[in-house]
């Protein structure tokens, strides 16, 4: 419960010709965490690797290119079956269509360009024969005109003129004050109007083809997208298998694989592999100084917090797994900060819904954590007696243990927060003693013992001068044992610190107090939450407005109700985020710094059963 | 009408929260920018960034506590 599942390191050695069979056996067994072999020569993938990876590259590229989002699981199928299914898809259609679409789009854009050029001249039904003696010009004119040396064709406010090249200067000088702007005359093959209608036809044809091709393409994708995703995922499963021997050690005739299995699974692995290989294989346990990967070993109730621990840092195999403690203290601090019956009920419902719907373990665990936190939020909701920030539940009110909106209540909550902080840190020291004792680091264990004694004694001493209800019990014990005992405890603690950690240890005492005071955030955040909820509740809709049957009053009621609901959603979201993140911080920074190393590798078997 | 002492007390409480909030915002903006950079460079660093972001909130939270104590004592 407090440590990881026991592991054995195993080595399987067989003929290198049987590597494919070995991979299949290992995958069938599943629960083995394969490590890169340090024995023999470099590993190499299975022969099927090239086919699998090229199929994967093209399938992934297609998925990305056409943004295929279909969700479907892959299946372990043999390579030849997958290859046949891939071929029957005729994916070359996608490549051909892509090329043709690009071509058509480029044609369409050049047709449009050409139409733009011809647009001004589209009504003109003649051409302009090329001649060395004649020159043409087109311009926008601002007043009517006549030209002696040129033929003029007017259309709208434009004029097209033809004149002998030799008279160029004369023509242009007589156009001064007439021509506003000269226009380029497009090159034509037939007449202006015929060219225009030809290009228009080509554009229509290309646009139709493009539309048809796109329809055909989307039909193809609609029909085949699930098959494409299925094949990609199935090829990925195959790729994992064909890549696995990269971690093996090879000689010309032998191959060997090393990995971690759960201790209880070792004999099963040995029997199944030996049976399949008719004993032409060596399966053995090997000694190793490497740290085994970590596989949690917690009761069902604490399991959602395994994801929480992995999110922070996976516990090492050789240290204590604090999941079970975190399962109690995280929701406790969360509930203490949020503390509201109404919000708690919503959290429990949200948590259960997430747990019910989620397929991913991490999300499902987050739902579990939310449910636990919701339960503690309800418990503290009764403690503060708050229901969506109100101090009564449908007219029912009981006197809270702590009134958070009251100055005295805030002081009590601050003291209670520090008290919980003290207990949390003391638990951290106890776990540190346990960890160090287990590893025979007796001096370190003694140092943590010194810290524990020092912290308890100092809190006993300080409690003498604090007059707050939650410190009365501490004060009571301090009086029973006598104030001298706390003083002796402090002195002994200091002595132990000096002996085990030297003067540096003494410098860390303010650090302990800073950690302790850090727990005051529980009260501060709670207070901020209460104030926000109180502000929202000032918008409480008045039912009397509806009873008056005045339309304006009803609109006011609806508007207030909307703002009221939005306000509570914002308040709850802030509450969840802040309570979650600050409770996480109290664990990651204050609590774990006392005993926790973490940073281990998770046990990731080939296949979980 | 409240005396100048009341005004000074209110000012002190306001400063306790305000300065704490400004300091938190300033530090969080730096950590946030660096954190985004780190996450873009390296996968699996979200937890550390989240915790680092939560660290400076202590300033404004303690500011709130101090302000409350100033106002109530």
* pLDDT tens sequence across A291-317: 899 999 889 888 899 988 888 889 998
Verify that A48 and A188 share a domain, yes or no. Answer: no
ipTM beyond cut 0.90: no
Predicted pLDDT of residue A472: 66
- The answer to whether residue A496 sits within a structural domain is yes
* A191 within some domain: yes
Do A441 and A504 sit in the same domain of this protein?
Answer: yes
Kind and range of the H or E run holding B69: helix B57-72
Residue contacts between A and B (CB atoms, under 8 Å): 45
Same domain, A433 and A466: yes
- The verdict on a CB contact (< 8 Å) between A582 and B72 is no
Q: CB B61 to CB A521 under 8 A?
A: yes
Q: Rg for chain A (alpha carbons), in Å?
A: 40
Tokens of B61: 């939270």
CA distance A469 to A450: 28
Question: Are A414 and A515 found together in one domain?
Answer: yes
The structural domain count of chain A equals 3
The answer on A281 and A234 residing in a single domain is: yes
**Helix (H) and strand (E) counts for chain A?**
20, 9
Full DSSP string of A76-141: ---HHHHHHHHHHT-THHHHHHHHHHHHHHHHHHHHHHHHHHHGGGTT--------SSEEEEEEEE
- Tokens representing A61 are 């590229």
Residues 6+ apart with CB under 8 A from A261: A7, A8, A10, A31, A32, A33, A269
pLDDT in tens, A556-606: 888 888 998 998 998 899 889 889 989 998 998 899 988 888 888 899 898
| Angstroms from A575 CA to nearest CA on chain B | 14
Degrees to nearest 5, angle at CA A127 with A122 and A128: 120
Judge if A413 and A513 occupy the same domain.
Answer: yes
pLDDT digits (tens, 9 = 90+) for A256-268: 888 999 999 899 9
Q: How far apart are CA A351 and CA A367, in angstroms?
A: 4
Report d(CA A43, CA A26) in Å as an integer.
Answer: 16
Domain-located, residue A510: yes
Note the pLDDT of residue A474: 66
CB nearest B61 (choices: A313, A410, A524): A524
Residue A37 domain-assigned?
yes
Give CA–CA dist A517/A583, Å, rounded. Answer: 14
Angle ∠(A444,A447,A449) on CA atoms, nearest 5: 110
A421 Cβ neighbours under 8 A, 6+ residues apart: A515, A516, A517, A518, A519, A520, A522, A586, A590
The answer on pLDDT for A337 being more than 90 is: yes
B contacts of A583 (beta carbons < 8 Å): none
| Residue A402 located in a structural domain | no
| pLDDT at A176 > cutoff 60 | yes
From A285, A312, A333, the end of a domain falls on A285
Contact criterion met (CB < 8 Å) for A588 and B57: no
| pLDDT tens string A184-219 | 888 888 888 999 999 999 999 999 999 999 999 999
Q: Is the pLDDT of residue A88 over 80?
A: yes
Structural domain for A426, as ranges:
408-519
Q: How is residue A294 annotated by DSSP?
A: B
**Residue at A579 is within a domain:** no
What is the rounded CA–CA span in Å between residue A241 and residue A28?
Answer: 11
């Amino acid at each position: 419960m407090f440590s990881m599942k026991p592991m054995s390191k195993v080595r399987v050695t067989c003929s290198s010709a049987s590597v494919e069979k070995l991979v299949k056996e290992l995958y069938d067994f599943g629960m083995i965490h394969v490590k890169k072999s340090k024995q023999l020569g470099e590993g190499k993938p299975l022969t099927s690797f090239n086919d699998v990876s090229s199929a994967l590259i093209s399938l992934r590229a297609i998925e990305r290119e056409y943004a295929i989002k279909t969700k479907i699981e892959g299946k372990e199928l043999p390579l030849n079956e997958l290859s046949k299914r891939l071929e029957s898809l005729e994916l070359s259609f996608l490549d051909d269509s892509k090329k043709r679409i690009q071509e058509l789009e480029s044609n369409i854009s050049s047709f449009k360009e050409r139409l733009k050029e011809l647009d001004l001249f589209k009504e003109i039904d003649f051409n302009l024969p090329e001649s060395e003696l004649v020159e043409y010009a087109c311009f926008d004119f601002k007043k009517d005109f006549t030209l002696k040396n040129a033929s003029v064709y007017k259309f709208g406010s434009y004029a097209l003129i033809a004149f002998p090249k030799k008279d160029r200067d004369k023509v242009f000088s007589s156009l001064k004050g007439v021509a506003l702007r000269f226009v380029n005359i497009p090159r034509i093959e037939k007449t202006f109007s015929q060219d225009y209608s030809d290009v228009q036809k080509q554009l229509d044809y290309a646009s139709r083809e493009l539309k048809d091709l796109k329809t055909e393409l989307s039909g193809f994708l609609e029909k085949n997208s699930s098959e494409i995703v299925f094949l990609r995922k199935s090829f990925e499963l195959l790729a994992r298998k064909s890549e696995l021997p990269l971690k093996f050690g090879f000689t010309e005739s032998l191959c060997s694989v090393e990995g971690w299995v759960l201790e209880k699974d070792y004999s099963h692995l040995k029997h199944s592999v030996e049976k399949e290989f008719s004993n032409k294989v060596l399966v053995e346990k090997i000694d190793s100084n490497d740290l085994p990967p970590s596989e949690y070993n917690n009761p069902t109730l604490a399991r959602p917090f395994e994801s929480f621990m992995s999110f922070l840092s996976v516990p090492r195999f050789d240290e204590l797994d604090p999941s079970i403690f975190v399962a109690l203290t995280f929701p406790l601090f969360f509930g203490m900060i949020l503390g509201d019956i109404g919000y708690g009920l919503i959290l429990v419902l949200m948590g259960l819904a997430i747990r019910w719907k989620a397929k991913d373990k991490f999300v499902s665990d987050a739902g579990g954590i939310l449910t636990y936190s919701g339960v503690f939020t309800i418990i503290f909701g009764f403690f503060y007696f708050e229901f969506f920030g109100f101090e009564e539940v449908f007219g029912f009110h009981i006197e809270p243990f702590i009134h958070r909106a009251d100055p005295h209540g805030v002081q009590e909550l601050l003291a209670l927060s520090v008290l919980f902080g003290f207990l949390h840190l003391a638990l951290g020291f106890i776990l540190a003693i346990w960890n160090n004792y287990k590893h025979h680091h007796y001096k370190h264990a003694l140092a943590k013992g010194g810290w524990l004694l020092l912290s308890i004694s100092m809190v006993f001493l300080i409690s003498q001068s604090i007059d707050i209800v939650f410190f009365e019990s501490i004060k009571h014990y301090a009086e029973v044992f006598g104030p001298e005992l706390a003083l002796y405890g402090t002195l002994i603690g200091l002595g132990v610190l000096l002996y085990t950690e030297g003067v540096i240890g003494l410098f860390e005492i303010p650090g302990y107090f800073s950690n302790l005071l850090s727990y005051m955030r529980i009260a501060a955040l709670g207070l901020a939450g209460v104030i926000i909820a109180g502000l929202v509740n000032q918008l409480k809709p008045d039912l009397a407005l509806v009873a008056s049957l005045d339309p304006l009053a009803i609109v006011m009621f609806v508007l207030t109700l909307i703002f009221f609901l939005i306000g509570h959603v914002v308040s709850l979201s802030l509450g969840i985020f802040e309570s979650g993140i600050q409770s996480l911080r109290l664990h990651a920074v204050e609590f774990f710094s006392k005993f926790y190393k973490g940073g281990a590798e998770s046990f990731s078997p080939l296949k979980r059963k | 009408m409240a005396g100048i002492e009341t005004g000074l007390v209110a000012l002190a409480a306001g400063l306790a929260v305000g300065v704490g909030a400004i300091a938190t915002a300033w530090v969080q903006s730096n950590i946030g920018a660096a954190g985004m950079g780190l996450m873009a460079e390296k996968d699996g660093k979200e937890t550390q960034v989240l915790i680092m972001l939560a660290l400076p909130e202590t300033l404004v939270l303690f500011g709130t506590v101090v302000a409350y104590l100033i106002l109530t004592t």
